[in-house]
Amino acid sequence: MAGNDLGSLLGSLLGGGQGGSGGAGGVLGSLLGALAGGKSGAGADGANPLGGLIDMLTKSGLVDQAQSWVGTGRNQPVSGAQITEALPDETLRKVAADAGVSPQEAADQIAQTLPQAVDKLTPNGSVPQGSLEDIIRQQQL
């Protein structure tokens, strides 16, 4: 349920009125929810799953891409295959099952929307502190 709430917030942040963005927001919400241990947003310790996701991508060789999304310059693209390599299989399978799509479709949706989502969630060139829901709500003001 928390992933759906987060997905709705991400979908609206990404322009949920445009075709398919809400669904992609749901995939991203599910991904970030899974990385947060299934808890909505930050979890009990206040850790932000966005930072963990960026670390995961960086350690998987997507340093330039992840830095371009967080930074204030142009966002570099990423492919579904790169997302598949970067994420743990179990996480990608869970996200796909939550969204009702194949793992490859989930990876493709993540690859398509993650650069824009990270860019919007890091407007000052760094990962903000606080719960993910609070960060998303602040960006919509």
Confidence of residue 70 (pLDDT cuts 50, 70, 90): very high
Overall pTM > 0.95: no
pLDDT of residue 19: 37
Mean pLDDT along residues 63-68: 95
Among 91, 108, 90, 86, smallest CA distance to 30 is for 91
Confidence of residue 29 (pLDDT cuts 50, 70, 90): confident
110 alpha carbon, distance to own chain's centre: 7
pLDDT digits (tens, 9 = 90+) for 88-109: 999 999 999 988 999 999 999 9
